[in-house]
Structures are given as structure tokens and as C-alpha cells.
């Protein structure tokens, strides 16, 4: 009987070991599966008086092969890879948007200034004026299209946060249920442990963070910022809440035990961190810079256009319609105060979003992205507005601001969408210089006029006729005022205009500056407008509009390339982590085939033991029968 019992026990043990091998082979392609191995042990021997006799073998345990260090490394690399891939994918779309000739700004930009140049060569041509209006409308439209695409990406980020929060909640709830079901990891089913580890990795791909194994085998999961997503059998809930300054924009918040706490958006990892980082480090700066270029272009061109005269004989007005900077009050402000903003100095315009705060006695300003303080002056009244980064801000007095009030100031974000044309009549294009200068036909000297330009189009006497008369070669008067000393090449100015007079005028020589007549073919102002794209009007007079446009395209492209390089490098790190885990936990078909062959032979041998025991038993029965 002992031989039969030993053979039967061995047969069952080998059968279970073969079942484990077949389970490994069946899960070859199951993601997150860890190879299992049957652990054999001897059964307790029996004392027979003369000594102990063995009773065969049994399965002591089905062991799950894994390396916690490799699993932890895989968890970290997976979360970082998901963040970088999300960031690189969205950044690449912005780069393509700006760099593609079909969607970028360069084509419409060049066509507009080419139309201005064409008008400067024939300022009275109706076709040239129509073409300039058409190209101006096309440029404003392209600014609006680009800004609309960026806003669509912003909405896509919000949708991604909503969908991601739902998936995170599902994963966290399932991990919590598995924690409760598994209990002690030492006695838990290996397949349940694999399932939990796989869910933890999927959760980390959304939020980044860490998984901490507690006593008894329970796993607690935390976000990259340290917020608890799963504690034992309890899961927190992730939700989206409205931004306090921009209700249309969503943020993530964590609800645990009835308390909802907004998450630090900059501390998240995984796909959610990639979405938020893309919005803050690529999308918002690109939209702000696009708006800065749009505002600077429009205001600079408007200033130049106002310095000209149209075909009706009127001074030029605004060519572009430009929206005012955005100022949004925080939802929790204690007063109903408002802040009105306008661009005061284009050269100092940065486009950086700022937070304005009133402490009861004065105002401070900080950058949204870094929190760094920004210089702010003024009191906020109409006579002494707050001045910051090229903007002038007037704070309402009814109602007045309350202590703790905060406002989000967006100098240029969204401005590109509001850009449009302020005129529709081609004859309103101010291509001519408002005043013209001429020399009296009877002049005897060699004085020559050049470089006539308008320096102050708002001067009330700009269009008044002015006579410049020379007493002798070294002195002159302006409308009888003077005399003033003269040297060749000298700049003469009056009533908001200036010109250069060269040569040697003779006594009695007379020059007249008067209003340009209507329907004039003068192209002086058009020639000035044609060169505005290269004028140093930004960065405190250090960079041009062309420089800003090239810088925007280069900055977006550089960000896209850097994030893609980082994603590619992280992919290599992640692949190494996967390989390290698979080396320990992965199913090797060659090894499993060898185990199956060995166990099959052992199973057959155990069956032979049973057959031998049966023959022995039959021999005993036969002897008894005789």
C-alpha cells in the first residue's frame, strides 16, 4: 500500500506541475503575466520501527516568479514615458501648425507686406488698394485661424482630463477591490497579484507616482505629487473642476473622505501630467506669443497708418481693429471690482500672463507660470494707471477692490482671434504723407528738401501751411519766427513734421510745407508702412516683427524636437525595464517545453509505480487464494 500511495501522490504532484507549465504557455501573450513554478517537497515520512520510510512527494507551493526592483523600475519608466509621449505628440501638432506653409503665418505675412510695398510704388492705383485690403483681411484671418486651432487643442486637453479622470477612478477602484480580495499576499493567488500589478502600472501611466507595499501585501498608490489614490481597500476619486480665473478651462481635483482638494497641476506625471505640461509650457506660451505678434503688428501698423493721409484728404485712422487685453476676476473675489486694460507701450509688451493681487493698500503682480514678481507702478486711477509689461490698467472705484482680490491679466492671449480690419473703403488707406514740401520757383540757392515725415500725427497744426525763409546762407525763419542757425543736412521740424534740408540756400530762398491735397499720388506713408515689419519695435527696441515671427516658429519647433528626443530616450529606458522584468517573470517557451518533457517522463514513471504496486497487490491476492 505504501508503494501505491507514493506512486499516487507523485502522479498527482506531476499532474499539477504539468498544469502549471500549461498555464504558463497559455499566458505567453498575457500582458503583465508572471511565470509560475511548482515547488516540490517531500511528504512526511513514516516510522516503521527500524527507521523512517519516505512517502513520496507533494506540491508545496505554486510560486510566482518576480523581481520587485524590476517591477518598481518598470512602474517609474512607464509613467515617465506616458508623460513624454503625450507631451511630444501634442507639441508636434503645434509645431506642424506653425511650420506648415498651408497653415502657418509666414505666407499671409509676406503677402500682406508685399501688397504694402506694391502700393508704395503706385499709391493712386485702385487695384493696389483693393489688394492691400484683401491681404490685410487674409492676414487677420490667418491669425484668427491659428488662434482657433490653439483653442481647439486647449479644449482637447480638457476632454483628455475628463476622460483620464474617469479611467483613473476605474483603475483605482479595481485596485482597491483587489487589495481587499487578496488580503495577505503570501497566500494570494498569483494571477490576482499579476492583475493588481498590471492595474498599478496602467494607473501610473495616467498619473505617474509610486506604489508602496504595506505589511500583509496591500499596495498603496500615490500620484507623482504625493496625493493618495489608493489606500488599502479605499480609493480616492479624481474629478475635474473649473479654473478659478477661467471657468472654461478644467483642472484636476482629488476627492477623499468627502473633501475635494485641487491638485498641484505641476506635480502630476503620466498622461495627465503630459496634458497639463503641454498646456502650460507649450500651448499657452504659443498662444500668448501669437497674440503679442498680432497686437504689435496691428498697433504698429495703425500708428504708421494714422501718420498718413487718405484719398479724401483726411488723416488716416486705424487700419486694424485690435481687442483689448483680457482681465478676469477670480471667482472668490470679495468685491465686484473690475480692471480695464490697454496696451500702453508696444516695445515693452511681453505677453506673459500675470496675476494681480490687491492687499488692501496696494497692488502686486506675479507671473502665472513661475510665480516670479513683476515690477508694477501706479495707483490704478485713470490719471495714474497701473503700469506693467507695457500695459496700463485702470481699476474701478465703484465698487472698489477688496483686500485679497485677484485678477488674471492676459495681455495678448486670444488677441489673434479678435484681430480684424477697421476700414473697408480702399480710398481710406492713408498712403500719402499728410504734408508735402516744395521749393519756391524763384529760389537762387542749391537748397534741396528730402526726408519729409510726420512725427506726431496728433499735432493740431499738422496741416497748417508753414513757410521757411532764408535770411542768408546760415539763417532761416519759420513763419517769421527766428532766426535760426542753419547748416547743410540739418533736420528742420515744426507742427509735428520734420524734414532734411541740404545744400546752400541763398538769401530770400523760400520753402513751403503744406497739407497734401486730396487724390494725391504721394506714396510717402506707404513706403514707411512697407518697412514696418523690419522696424525694431519690440523688446525695448531691440527686435522687429519679423524677428518675433521667426522666434515663435523656432521656439515651437525647438520645444517639439526636445520633447520628442526625450520621449525617444525614455522609450529606450522603458524597453530596458521591460526586458529586465521579462528576464525574470516572462514565459520562455524553450524552458517550458523542456519542463513539460521532464514532467511528462516523471508522470509516466509515477504511473509505472502504480502499475507495479497493482501487480504486487495482485500477486498477494493470488497467493492468498491458493
Q: Each residue of 575-588: pLDDT tens digit?
A: 999 999 999 999 99
Give, in degrees to the nearest 5, the angle at Cα 144 between 138 and 146: 105
What is the C-alpha to C-alpha distance for residues 473 and 460, in angstroms, rounded to an integer?
31
The confidence score (pLDDT) of residue 549 equals 93
Mean pLDDT of the 376-403 span? 93
Average pLDDT over residues 388-416: 93
Residues 6+ apart with CB under 8 A from 444: 506, 508, 509
pLDDT of residue 626 exceeding 70: no
DSSP character at residue 269: -
Looking at 97-101, 197-201, 367-371, 530-534, which range is the least confident one?
367-371
d(CA 264, CA 241): 13
* CA atoms 503, 509, 513, 516: torsion sign: negative
Delimit the domains of the chain by residue range.
2-61+586-625, 70-280+543-578, 435-515
pLDDT of residue 85: 96
**Please, are residues 556 and 98 in contact by the beta-carbon 8 Å criterion?**
yes
d(CA 483, CA 439): 19
State the first-to-last Cα distance of the chain, in angstroms, to the nearest integer: 21
Domain covering 2-61+586-625 assigned CATH 1.25.40 in the classification? no
The values of phi and psi at residue 258, to 5°, are: 85, 0
Q: Which residues of 425-460 are buried (b: 16+ CB within 10 A; e: fewer)?
A: ebebbbbbbbbbbebeeeeebebebeebbbeebeee
Residue 381 CB partners (closer than 8 Å, separation 6+): 394, 395, 397
Predicted pLDDT at 355: 94
Q: Say if CB 140 and CB 117 are below 8 A apart.
A: no
pLDDT of 17 > 90? The answer is: yes
* Residue 122 confidence (pLDDT): 85
- For residues 417-438, average pLDDT: 93
Distance, in Å, from the CA atom of 428 to the CA atom of 306, rounded to the nearest integer, reads 11
431 CB-near residues (< 8 Å, 6+ apart): 119, 120, 123, 129, 308, 310, 522, 523, 525, 526, 529
Given this model, what pLDDT does residue 223 score? 87
CB atoms within 10 A of CB 242: 12
Q: What percent of the chain has pLDDT over 70?
A: 99
List the one residue out of 108, 95, 106, 94 whose CA is nearest residue 140.
108
> Average pLDDT of 25-44?
92
Burial 193-202 (b: 16+ CB within 10 A, else e): bbbbbbbbbb
Of 415, 461, 412, nearest to 434 by C-alpha is 461
Q: 286-335 pLDDT, tens per residue?
A: 999 999 999 999 999 999 999 999 999 999 999 999 999 999 999 889 88
Helix (H) or strand (E) holding 567: helix 545-585
461-509 confidence digits (pLDDT tens): 999 999 999 999 899 999 989 899 999 999 999 999 999 999 999 999 9
498 with 453: CB under 8 angstroms?
yes
Please give the angle made by the CA atoms of 235, 239 and 243, to the nearest 5 degrees: 145
186 pLDDT band, cuts 50/70/90, is: low
Give the C-alpha separation, 338 to 364, whole Å.
16
Residue 213 β-bridge partners? 219
Cα distances from 413 to residues 265, 371, 375, in angstroms, run 20, 18, 20
ω into 483 cis (within 30 of 0): yes
Average pLDDT over the chain reads 91
Tell me the average pLDDT across 76-95.
95
From the list 473, 478, 387, the residue with the least C-alpha distance to 437 is 478
Q: Any idea what DSSP says for residue 381?
A: S
pLDDT in tens, 228-257: 899 988 999 999 988 888 888 898 998 877
Query: DSSP strand E in 207-362: where?
Result: 210-213, 219-222, 228-231, 234-235, 237-242, 250-256, 259-262, 320-321, 326-329, 339-343, 354-358
Q: How confident is the model at residue 1 (pLDDT cuts 50, 70, 90)?
A: low
Average pLDDT over residues 364-393: 93
- Cα separation, 154 vs 144, in Å, equals 15
Residue 67 and residue 254 in contact, taking contact as beta carbons nearer than 8 Å: no
DSSP 347: G
pLDDT, position 266: 75
pLDDT at res. 453: 87
Banded model confidence at residue 213, pLDDT cuts 50, 70, 90 = confident
Q: Which of 291, 285, 353 has the alpha carbon at shortest distance from 91?
A: 285
Angle at 390 between CA 384 and CA 391, to 5 degrees: 50
Q: Are strands 475-478 and 466-472 parallel, antiparallel or unpaired?
A: antiparallel
Distances (CA, A) of 262 to 172, 234, 305, 419: 18, 19, 49, 35
Residue 342, φ and ψ in degrees, nearest 5: -150, 155
User: Is residue 50 pLDDT above 70, yes or no?
Assistant: yes
* Separation between Cα atoms, residue 21 and residue 34, nearest integer Å: 12
Structure confidence at residue 609 as a pLDDT band (50, 70, 90):
confident
H or E stretch including 30? none
Taking the C-alpha atoms of residue 22 and residue 353, their distance in angstroms, rounded to an integer, is 62
Q: Do the Cβ atoms of 486 and 440 come closer than 8 Å?
A: no
Residue partners of 550: CB distance under 8 A and separation at least 6: none
pLDDT value, residue 185 = 65
The residues near 391 (Cβ < 8 Å, ≥ 6 apart) are 325, 341, 342, 343, 344, 349, 409, 411
Helix count (H) and strand count (E) of the chain? 11, 29
Amino acid at each position: 500500500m505504501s508503494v501505491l500511495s507514493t506512486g499516487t501522490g507523485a502522479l498527482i504532484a506531476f499532474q499539477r506541475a504539468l498544469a502549471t507549465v500549461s498555464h504558463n504557455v497559455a499566458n505567453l501573450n498575457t500582458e503583465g503575466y508572471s511565470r509560475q513554478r511548482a515547488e516540490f517537497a517531500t511528504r512526511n515520512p513514516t516510522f516503521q520501527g527500524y527507521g523512517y520510510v519516505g512517502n513520496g512527494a507533494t506540491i508545496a507551493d505554486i510560486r510566482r516568479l518576480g523581481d520587485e526592483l524590476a517591477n518598481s523600475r518598470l512602474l517609474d519608466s512607464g509613467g515617465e514615458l506616458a508623460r513624454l509621449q503625450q507631451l511630444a505628440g501634442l507639441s508636434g501638432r503645434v509645431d506642424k501648425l506653425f511650420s506648415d506653409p498651408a497653415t502657418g503665418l509666414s505666407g499671409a505675412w509676406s503677402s500682406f507686406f508685399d501688397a504694402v510695398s506694391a502700393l508704395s510704388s503706385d499709391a493712386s492705383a485702385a487695384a493696389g488698394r483693393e489688394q492691400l485690403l484683401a491681404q490685410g483681411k487674409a492676414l487677420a484671418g490667418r491669425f484668427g485661424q491659428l488662434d482657433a486651432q490653439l483653442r481647439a487643442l486647449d479644449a482637447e486637453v480638457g476632454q483628455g482630463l475628463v476622460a483620464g479622470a474617469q479611467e483613473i477612478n476605474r483603475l483605482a477602484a479595481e485596485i482597491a477591490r483587489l487589495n481587499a480580495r487578496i488580503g495577505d499576499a503570501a497566500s494570494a493567488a498569483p494571477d490576482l497579484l499579476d492583475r493588481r500589478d498590471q492595474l498599478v502600472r496602467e494607473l501610473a501611466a495616467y498619473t505617474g507616482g509610486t506604489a508602496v507595499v504595506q505589511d500583509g501585501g496591500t499596495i498603496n498608490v500615490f500620484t507623482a505629487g504625493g496625493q493618495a489614490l489608493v489606500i488599502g481597500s479605499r480609493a480616492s476619486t479624481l474629478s475635474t473642476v473649473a479654473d478659478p480665473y477661467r471657468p472654461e478651462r478644467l483642472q484636476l481635483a482629488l476627492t477623499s473622505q468627502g473633501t475635494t482638494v485641487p491638485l498641484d497641476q505641476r506635480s502630476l506625471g503620466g498622461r495627465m501630467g503630459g496634458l497639463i505640461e503641454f498646456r502650460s509650457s507649450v500651448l499657452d506660451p504659443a498662444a500668448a506669443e501669437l497674440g503679442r505678434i498680432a497686437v504689435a503688428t496691428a498697433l504698429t501698423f495703425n500708428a504708421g497708418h494714422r501718420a498718413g493721409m487718405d484719398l479724401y484728404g483726411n488723416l488716416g485712422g486705424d487700419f486694424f481693429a485690435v481687442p483689448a487685453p483680457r482681465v478676469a476676476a477670480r471667482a472668490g473675489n470679495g468685491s465686484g471690482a473690475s480692471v480695464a486694460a490697454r496696451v500702453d507701450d508696444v516695445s515693452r509688451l511681453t505677453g506673459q500672463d500675470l496675476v494681480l493681487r490687491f492687499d488692501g493698500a496696494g497692488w502686486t503682480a506675479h507671473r502665472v507660470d513661475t510665480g516670479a514678481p513683476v515690477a508694477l507702478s501706479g495707483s490704478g486711477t485713470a490719471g495714474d494707471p497701473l503700469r506693467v509689461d507695457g500695459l496700463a490698467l485702470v481699476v474701478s472705484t465703484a465698487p472698489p477692490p477688496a483686500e485679497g482680490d485677484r485678477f488674471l491679466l492676459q495681455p495678448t492671449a486670444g488677441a489673434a482671434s479678435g484681430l480684424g480690419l477697421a476700414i473697408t473703403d480702399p480710398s481710406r488707406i492713408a498712403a500719402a504723407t499728410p504734408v508735402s514740401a516744395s521749393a519756391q520757383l524763384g529760389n537762387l540757392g542749391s537748397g534741396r528738401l528730402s526726408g519729409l515725415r510726420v512725427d506726431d500725427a496728433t499735432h493740431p497744426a499738422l496741416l497748417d501751411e508753414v513757410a521757411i525763409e532764408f535770411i542768408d546762407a546760415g539763417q532761416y525763419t519759420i513763419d517769421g519766427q527766428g532766426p535760426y542757425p542753419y547748416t547743410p543736412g540739418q533736420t528742420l521740424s515744426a507742427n509735428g513734421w520734420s524734414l532734411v534740408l541740404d545744400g546752400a540756400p541763398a538769401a530770400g530762398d523760400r520753402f513751403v510745407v503744406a497739407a497734401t491735397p486730396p487724390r494725391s499720388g504721394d506714396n510717402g506713408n506707404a513706403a514707411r508702412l512697407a518697412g514696418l515689419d523690419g522696424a525694431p519695435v519690440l523688446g525695448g527696441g531691440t527686435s522687429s516683427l519679423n524677428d518675433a515671427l521667426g522666434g515663435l516658429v523656432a521656439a515651437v519647433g525647438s520645444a517639439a524636437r526636445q520633447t520628442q528626443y526625450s520621449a525617444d530616450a525614455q522609450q529606450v529606458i522603458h524597453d530596458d525595464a521591460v526586458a529586465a522584468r521579462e528576464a525574470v517573470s516572462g514565459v520562455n517557451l524553450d524552458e517550458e517545453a523542456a519542463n513539460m518533457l521532464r514532467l511528462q517522463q516523471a508522470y509516466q514513471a509515477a504511473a509505472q509505480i502504480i502499475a507495479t504496486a497493482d501487480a504486487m497487490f495482485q500477486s498477494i491476492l493470488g497467493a492468498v487464494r491458493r
